[in-house]
Structure 1
Amino acid sequence: MRATHRPFTTLALALSLFVAALELTVVSTAMPTVVSDLGGIQSYAWVFTAYMLSSTITVPIYGKLADLYGRKPIILFGSALFLGSSIACGLSTSMNMLIAFRVLQGLGAGAMQPIALTIIGDIYTLEQRAKVQGAFSAVWGIAGLAGPLTGGLIVKYLTWHWVFFINIPIGIASMVLLVVFFHEQMERKARVQLDFAGAALLCAGVVALLFGVQGTGRTLLALPLAAVLLTAFVFAELRAAEPIIPMSLFKIPTIAISSLAGALFTAAQFGATTYVPLYVQGVLGGSATMAGAMLTPMIVAWPLASVIGGRLMLRIGFRPLIIGGLGLATLGTVLMALMLKPGASLLVPRIAMGVFGVGLGFSAMATMVAVQTSVGWELRGVVTAGSMFFRTIGGSLGVGAMGGVMVAQLMNDPSIPVSAATELLGPEHGRSLSPAVLETLGSALNHGLSINFWIMCAAMVAAFAVGLFFPKMKQASTPPNSVDIPAAH
């Protein structure tokens, strides 16, 4: 059995996370330009929702497969699918085509992030993991900082298609390093009973739920259907020999509270990265670069807080970081909702985004390490993926619901054609439209996005309230037990 080389394996995992983080912020900044080129503003939220939907429903499935068959084949499969679909996204010629390939891209991303974090949990002790997780948050920050700037430059000097092509060299480098330097040793079960019924019910229930939260009229019928399907999923998991998400895990307060709080704060996080750039371009008339710059304070503050929090966590424990972080993030969303107004200076909202990022840096890192510390190797893939599942589904539902609010406001006046709203987001910012149409559209977009900012605030208030119940945990060192790591590394 060859030994795992931890430094190169860690580098490979960092590159994998870097691609995922870069993709999110680059696409957010470029989306107004994409809409102006392909049209379909009514499908704006689905470019994000489709990606998050497919990654959400597959995260717990990949986590279970990683516990059954090992981490390495699963993360390599996800990376290959992500890269192939990134090329397809860049070659899209219509909004529907882009959304379809974003679904495939999400299917790949569903394996990359949770399995990467699971491997980190495997090869490092608790003391080491607290520092490494902070460093990995810094990777997200670096990618996030580069993303908006890269997206703005790509839109300005190339075409939006290149926001997807930039994934290719980084993703290939990550896969090569994993193949060469990551080696795991595990006992595979002689007979594995995959929970296909549970996976199908979960997929159908999440799809119905997402359609319901962002719809009106007949689409609202999807909500009771989602309730039935997800209830059936819970009962199926209770009876399954190898459940996708073991329900018994939620008897552990650490896991239950972290999952619920994670879903709520990620709804606010995804709302900020999706709709703040749109507000800057659509309401304030800023460029793609200006829109990306609004995310920079959050993206810089998050990794810095995670690195500091990783060191503090070993001294003060998980609970103070989680409650304090959620409180700061709540304050940040309140300031955003109050300060993002037409004609207002962007200085105060930038400060608000920074406070928001500090809070999320503390709380997101601490909840993830706490969840991984609650179980052994045989369940670490499931609980890591489960935590990511709840965060992603929270973000998906949040962005979907906010997208429904925005579209409803834009379509409120039937005399205004959809093409006019699309033109508003183009490089000319709707200068060819009449003043009356511009005023109507600007007012509708401002009203819809303002409601969204208050939805983000409500989600963070709820997350803070949930975090107050987080238990005090005894911290114990848990040595890595899934790979053979020589002392020299």
Structure 2
Amino acid sequence: MRATHRPFTTLALALCMFMAALEMTVVSTAMPTVVSDLGGIQSYAWVFTAYMLSSTITVPIYGKLADLYGRKPVLLFGTGLFLVGSLASGLSTSMNMLIAFRILQGVGAGAMQPIALTIIGDIYTLEQRAKVQGAFSAVWGIAGLAGPLTGGLIVKYLTWHWVFFINIPIGVGVMALLIVFFQEELKRKVAAKLDYAGAALLSAGVVALLFGVQGTGRTLLALPVAAVLLAAFVFVELRAPEPVIPMTIFKIPAIAISSMAGALFSAAMFGATTYVPLYVQGVLGGSATMAGGMITPMIVGWPLASLVAGKLMLRTGFRPLIIGGLGLSVVGTGLMALLLKPGASLLVPQLAMGLFGIGMGFTSTALLIAVQTSVGWELRGVATASNMFFRTIGGALGVGLMGGVLVTHLMKDPSVPVSAANELLGPEHGRGLPPAMLETLSGALSTGLAINFWIMCAATVAAFSAGLFFPKVKRVTTPVNMSDVTATH
């Protein structure tokens, strides 16, 4: 067998991570313009939650498949599926089509990040890995910075379709490099069984929960259905030989509290990246570029705070960083809730997002490393994956709940069609609508988003309250590998 060419394989994995990171921010920037073109503002949240949900649920499944059949075929399959979903999303002609293809895109994305990090662990020694994954941290930060700007420029000079088409050349390059330069020897000692029942129950339960939290009337019936399905999932996992999420790890206080706090602050984080740009463009009348720029302070503050947290952790331990970071996040979301009003200066969301990003940089870093320090090597992978799972599910549920709030307010006046709100996001900002209808819709959009900002603030307050109970965990005594942390957000 030919040997793996590590530099080119590493380049392929870095591009793979870049593509996944870019997708998180570039779509947020373009979405108000997408809605003005396709309509369907009532489905706004589903474009994000469908992607997050499908990518999160598939993470543990891809991990098992990679152990059974090797990393290379699983990563190639996931990347290919992601590209097909990207192409189809760019060709969508309705909001329902876009949501369906975002699900497909997310199913592929579920393989990209975890398998790329697994391959790095396979082809580099522990000493070498610190340097290589440091470079991956920089890639993630660059992609986060480039996303809002790239999205704004694409919308301004091309069309929103290219927000998805931009993935195609990068993904094709990734697949070509992996096929040619990455070789692996499958070390299958024991054929582990994939927990199909657990995966199916988890998927169905989370989807039902998502429908329930953002619904009204009959859709609220999804909540008891979700409770039954998730209870059945726990029952199956307690008896499965290879569970998707081992329930025993939640007996460790650091992991249980990290999962709870992570889900809560992720609800606020994904809510902010989804709805702050919408507020800037739909209520404050800013351009797509301005709307995307609101995310930049958070993207800059997050990795910078993570780097500082890594150095402080050895001296202060985890609790001060967790509590202090969550406190800053409360201040950031509190500023959004209190000061983001019609006619507000754009400095308000920029300052709020910057403080929020710094707080999350401290918190997320300390929480994840505390989780990894709380368990031995044999549980570190599953503990890290579970932490990632709860963060993303928290984000998906948070965005879904806020989407339900927004749609409820837009539909309050039956004489005004909710589809007319799409005009608020066009280049004319709804000036073609009758004055009375424009006033009603602008007020409904502003009120719905204002409530969402208070929901974000409540989520960070709840996360801060959970952080106060975080136990004292033994401090790390060796340098922390910061790229593992940055790459999970």
CA distance in 2, matches of 1:189, 1:363: 38
The separation in 1 between residues aligned to 2:464 and 2:297, in whole angstroms, is 21
Shift of 1:82: 0.7
Over residues 246-280 of structure 1, what are the superposed CA-to-partner deviations in whole Å (9 max), with x where a residue is unaligned? 11122223322222211111111100110000000
Find the aligned partners of 1:380 and 1:185 in 2 and give their Cα distance.
Answer: 23
* CA distance in 1 between partners of 2:479 and 2:300 (Å): 31
Q: What SS is found at the alignment partner of 1:239?
A: coil
Report which structure shows greater RCO (CA 8 Å, sep ≥6).
1
5+ long unaligned stretches in structure 1: 481-489
Question: Which amino acid in structure 1 is aligned with residue 416 of structure 2?
Answer: I
Q: Quote the Cα distance in structure 2 between the aligned partners of 1:177 and 1:447.
A: 49
**Does the CA-based 8 Å contact 2:276-2:349 persist in structure 1?**
no
Q: Does the 8 A contact of 1:75 with 1:115 survive in 2?
A: yes
Residue 485 of structure 1 is matched in structure 2 by none
CA deviation string 1:39-71 (max 9, x = no partner): 111111111111112112212222333344444
Aligned to 2:385: 385
Give the Cα separation in 2 of the matches to 1:255 and 1:122: 26
Q: Is the 8 A contact 1:329 1:357 kept in 2?
A: yes
Q: Is 1:81–1:105's contact at 8 Å kept on the other side of the alignment?
A: yes
Alpha carbons of structure 1 residues 344 and 298: separation in structure 2 relative to 1, 3 Å: same
Conservation of the 8 A alpha-carbon contact between 1:301 and 1:357: yes
Instruction: Output the amino acid matched with 1:354.
Output: G
CA contact (8 A) 1:64 1:381 kept: no
- Does structure 1 conserve the Cα–Cα contact (< 8 Å) formed by 2:47 and 2:99? yes
Correspondence for 2:487? none
* Displacement of 1:181: 5.1
1:57-68 equivalences in 2 (<5 Å): 57-68=57-68
The answer to whether the Cα contact below 8 Å between 2:18 and 2:143 also exists between their aligned partners in 1 is yes
User: Shift in Å at residue 464 of structure 1?
Assistant: 1.7
Q: CA deviation at 1:6?
A: 5.7
| Contact in 2 for aligned 1:126/1:479 (Cα 8 Å) | no
Q: CA 1:237–1:352 in 2, change beyond 3 Å: closer, same or farther?
A: same
Cα distance in 2 for residues equivalent to 1:434 and 1:183: 63
Residues 9, 182 of structure 1: 8 Å contact kept? yes
State the distance in 1 between where 2:2 and 2:363 align.
37
Match of 2:484 in 1: none
TM-score (norm. length: structure 1): 0.91
CA distance in structure 1 between the aligned counterparts of 2:100 and 2:374, rounded to whole angstroms: 38
Instruction: Summarize the Cα distance change of 1:4–1:327 in structure 2 as closer, same or farther, 3 Å threshold.
Output: farther
Structure 2: distance between partners of 1:376 and 1:182: 30
8 Å Cα contact 2:313-2:475 kept in structure 1: no
The match for 1:139 is: 139
Q: Percent identity?
A: 80
Alignment of 1:191-210 (within 5 A): 191-210=191-210
- Tell me the secondary structure at the aligned position of residue 310 of structure 1: helix
Would the aligned equivalents of 1:201 and 1:232 in 2 still touch at CA under 8 Å?
Answer: yes
Number of matched residues?
Answer: 480
User: Structure 1 residues 114, 464: closer, same or farther in 2, change over 3 A?
Assistant: farther
**Cα shift at 1:321:** 2.6
The change in CA–CA distance for 1:242 and 1:78 in structure 2 (over 3 A counts) is same
In structure 1, the partner of 2:99 is 99
Q: Deviations over 1:417-460 (max 9, x none)?
A: 12311111111111101211111111111100001011111111
C-alpha distance after superposition, 1:170-203 (max 9, x if no partner): 2233334444555566742433222111111111
- CA, structure 1 residues 117+453, in 2 after alignment: closer, same or farther (shift >3 Å)? farther
Are the counterparts in 2 of residues 131 and 307 from structure 1 also a CA contact under 8 Å? no
Cα pair 1:62 1:385 within 8 Å, conserved: no
Alignment match, 2:335:
335
- CA distance 1:149–1:444, change in 2 (3 Å): same
Within 2, Cα distance between the matches of 1:428 and 1:479?
Answer: 50
> Counterpart of 1:361?
361
The structure-2 alpha-carbon separation of the partners of 1:404 and 1:356, relative to structure 1 and needing over 3 Å to count, comes to: same
Q: CA deviation at 1:479?
A: 12
Kindly state the Cα deviation for residue 468 of structure 1 after the two structures are TM-superposed: 2.5
Q: Is this contact kept in 1: 2:30–2:160, CA < 8 A?
A: yes
Corresponding residue of 1:173: 173
Match of 2:51 in 1: 51
Residue 457 of structure 1 is matched in structure 2 by 457
Long gaps (5+) in structure 2: 482-489
Give, in whole Å, the separation in 2 of the partners of 1:174 and 1:370: 33
Q: For residue 448 of structure 1, what is the aligned residue in structure 2? A: 448
Residues 4, 246 of structure 1: alpha-carbon distance in 2 compared, 3 angstrom cutoff: farther
State the distance in 2 between where 1:475 and 1:251 align: 21
Match of 1:483 in 2: none
SS state at 1:191 partner: coil
Check the 8 A contact 1:138/1:307 in 2, yes or no.
no
Q: CA RMSD in A?
A: 2.6
- Which residue number corresponds to residue 418 of structure 2? 418
Mapping of residues 418-437 of structure 1, within 5 Å: 418-437=418-437
Q: 1:307 to 1:394 in 2, by over 3 A?
A: same
CA distance in 1, matches of 2:135, 2:222: 41
Which residue does 2:237 correspond to in 1?
Answer: 237
* Letter aligned with residue 475 of structure 1: V
Q: Is the 8 A contact 1:215 1:404 kept in 2?
A: yes
- Distance in 2 of aligned mates of 1:38 and 1:163: 15
Range 368-377 or range 441-450, more displaced: 368-377
Alignment CA distance shift 1:325-1:123 (3 Å): farther
Q: 1:313 to 1:96 in 2, by over 3 A?
A: same
- Aligned residue identity for 1:264: L
Query: Take 2:199 and 2:216, find their aligned partners in 1: how far apart are those partners?
Result: 27
Tell me if 1:83 matches 2:86: no
Aligned counterparts, 1:148-159, within 5 A: 148-159=148-159
Mapped to 1, the partners of 2:454 and 2:125 lie a distance apart of 40
CA contact (8 A) 1:78 1:111 kept: yes
CA distance in 2, matches of 1:373, 1:216: 43
Q: What residue identity is the alignment partner of 1:90?
A: G
2:476 is the alignment partner of 1:475: yes
User: 1:248-259 residue pairs with structure 2 within 5 A?
Assistant: 248-259=248-259
Please say if residues 49 and 399 of structure 1, whose CA atoms lie closer than 8 Å, have aligned partners that are also in contact. Answer: yes
Mean CA deviation greater in 17-26 or 157-166: 17-26
- Displacement of 1:327 after TM fit? 1.9
Provide the residue aligned with 2:371 in structure 1. 371
Name the amino acid aligned to 2:14: A
Q: CA deviation at 1:116?
A: 3.2
**Aligned-pair CA distance for 1:333:** 0.9
CA distance in 2, matches of 1:6, 1:256: 37
- The verdict on how the C-alpha distance between 1:202 and 1:322 changes in structure 2, with shifts beyond 3 A counting, is same
Report Cα offsets for 1:60-93 as digits up to 9, x if no partner: 2223333444444333322121112101111111
Question: Would the alpha carbon gap of residues 324 and 7 (structure 1) be closer, same or farther in structure 2, given more than 3 Å must change?
Answer: farther
Residue aligned with 2:116, SS: helix
By how many angstroms is 1:134 displaced?
Answer: 6.3
